[in-house]
């Protein structure tokens, strides 16, 4: 989303130094509880973002409470979008977090419009709604209440264990509207985890989050993502990961190889050259066509993962049944496939429409923003 669409009016005079176009800025703050982070609090003109027409995503609307992400994943697809705000895609993305402080009020207004069709809204498609800033700003409880109260189905994808705080609220919301929850994890080696995703809760903590979600009676799909060629794709690694995911009670799993979109590509490549220079030629070959890994690798990964998914009851046919969940609740994981494949449980069961009456005109939204997945 470009900030042009977020401008409040020409009278807004407060802007960030060096970023004269960031209208709506209220203040920039640094607080002792979040060392190294700067929060740029803005008033947002809109809460709902339209997904570009023709997108393969199984939803038409998204909400992103924050821009930038303190989880700081080296491979993050969303890095490039930070440059649209006048920040860089590297350290600034990790440390300069824009907070839409009036998000809940704006959202409630948009959801109350007669034109709102109560379509599925996805959170966590660009940056993580349960990153560290959420501990301070507590936007998600208001978002969840607004969506459930308006009869709007929704999904949340996160790496943030802070979601546990909102489990009672989510369980209550699930009684009113269809919801889906997804957790992303892939790296099991502690050293690699600390190096590649230094701000993210540990894989063990995220597995416990999956367990906590399912213990609360909610479905939870796991994105085993990103799988890193030559680093996390050994059979033993994938076996351990999928066994742990199944044991945590995940409803389904999708295995996604690393994507290297502009922004992430430069940042990740610098990390690879520094930490694993021997892998650079291989990555250049695998990503010779751009952001997506070469088809032969996808086929190889699919072949490696398929028997493991079957072994742990996470395959398409077995999807969720071993854990007492309807297999047709959502698309099951397809190993090695693309962004549009969502694991069972990560989407609302009746994705697409809500519980309220359908209207003809869609709500007016800002320019569609680039979609990424955590």
Please report, as ranges, the residues that interact with ligand SF4 according to CB under 6 A. Answer: 69, 71-73, 76, 78, 127-128, 131, 159, 200, 374
- Closest CB to ligand SF4 among residues 82, 118: 82
Q: CB atoms < 10 A from the CB of 32, how many?
A: 5
- Least Å distance, CB 158 to ligand SF4, is 8
- Closest CB to ligand SF4 among residues 117, 159: 159
Q: Alpha helix locations (H) across the chain?
A: 79-82, 91-95, 103-111, 133-137, 140-149, 167-174, 190-196, 203-215, 235-247, 264-275, 280-286, 295-311
Contacts of 275 (CB under 8 A, 6+ apart): 195
Spell 97-112 as b/e; 16+ CB within 10 A means b: bbbbbbbbebbbebbe
- Closest CB to ligand SF4 among residues 178, 226: 226
- Least Å distance, CB 128 to ligand SF4, is 4
- Least Å distance, CB 348 to ligand SF4, is 21
3-state secondary structure of 136: helix
- Closest CB to ligand SF4 among residues 156, 174: 156
| Residue of 95, 94, 96 lying closest to 85 (CA atoms) | 96
- Least Å distance, CB 235 to ligand SF4, is 25
Residue 205 CB-density burial (10 A; 0-12 exposed, 13-18 middle, 19+ buried) = middle
- Closest CB to ligand SF4 among residues 73, 245: 73
- Least Å distance, CB 175 to ligand SF4, is 29
- Closest CB to ligand SF4 among residues 90, 362: 90
For residues 126 and 372, the answer to whether their CB atoms sit within 8 Å is yes
- Closest CB to ligand SF4 among residues 51, 73: 73
- Least Å distance, CB 263 to ligand SF4, is 10
DSSP labels, 226-248: EEPTTTT-SHHHHHHHHHHHHHT
E strand segments, 37-86: 38-42, 49-50, 61-63, 66-67
Q: CB atoms < 10 A from the CB of 187, how many?
A: 26
């Amino acid at each position: 989303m470009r900030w042009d669409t977020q401008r409040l009016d020409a009278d807004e005079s407060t802007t960030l130094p060096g970023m004269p176009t960031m209208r709506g800025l209220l203040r920039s703050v640094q607080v002792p509880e979040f060392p190294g982070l700067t929060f740029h609090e803005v008033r947002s003109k809109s809460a709902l973002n339209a997904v570009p027409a023709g997108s393969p995503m199984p939803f038409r609307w998204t909400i992103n409470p924050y821009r930038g992400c303190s989880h700081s994943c080296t491979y993050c697809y969303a890095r490039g979008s930070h440059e649209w705000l006048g920040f860089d895609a590297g350290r600034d993305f990790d440390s300069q977090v824009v907070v839409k402080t009036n998000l809940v009020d704006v959202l409630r207004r948009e959801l109350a419009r007669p034109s709102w069709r109560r379509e599925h809204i996805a959170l966590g498609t660009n940056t993580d709604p349960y990153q560290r800033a959420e501990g301070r700003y507590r936007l998600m409880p208001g978002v969840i209440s607004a969506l459930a109260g308006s009869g709007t189905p929704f999904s949340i994808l996160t790496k943030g264990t802070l979601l546990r705080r909102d489990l009672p609220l989510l369980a209550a919301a699930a009684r009113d509207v269809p919801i889906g929850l997804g957790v992303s994890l892939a790296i099991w080696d502690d050293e690699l985890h600390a190096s590649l995703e230094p701000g993210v809760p540990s894989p063990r903590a995220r597995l416990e989050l999956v367990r906590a979600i399912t213990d609360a009676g909610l479905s939870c799909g796991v994105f085993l993502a990103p799988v890193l060629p030559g680093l996390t794709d050994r059979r033993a690694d994938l076996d351990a990961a999928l066994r742990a995911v199944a044991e945590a009670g995940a409803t389904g799993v999708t295995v996604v190889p690393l994507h290297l979109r502009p922004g992430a590509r430069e940042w990740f490549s610098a990390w690879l050259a520094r930490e694993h220079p021997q892998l650079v030629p291989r990555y250049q070959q695998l990503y010779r066509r751009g952001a997506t890994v070469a088809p032969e690798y996808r086929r190889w990964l699919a072949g490696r993962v398929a028997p493991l998914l079957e072994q742990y009851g996470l395959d398409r046919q077995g999807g969720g049944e071993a854990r007492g969940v309807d297999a047709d609740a959502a698309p099951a994981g397809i190993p090695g496939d693309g962004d549009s494949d969502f694991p069972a449980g990560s989407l609302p069961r009746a994705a697409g429409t809500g519980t309220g009456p359908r209207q003809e005109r869609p709500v007016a939204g800002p320019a569609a923003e680039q979609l990424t997945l955590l």
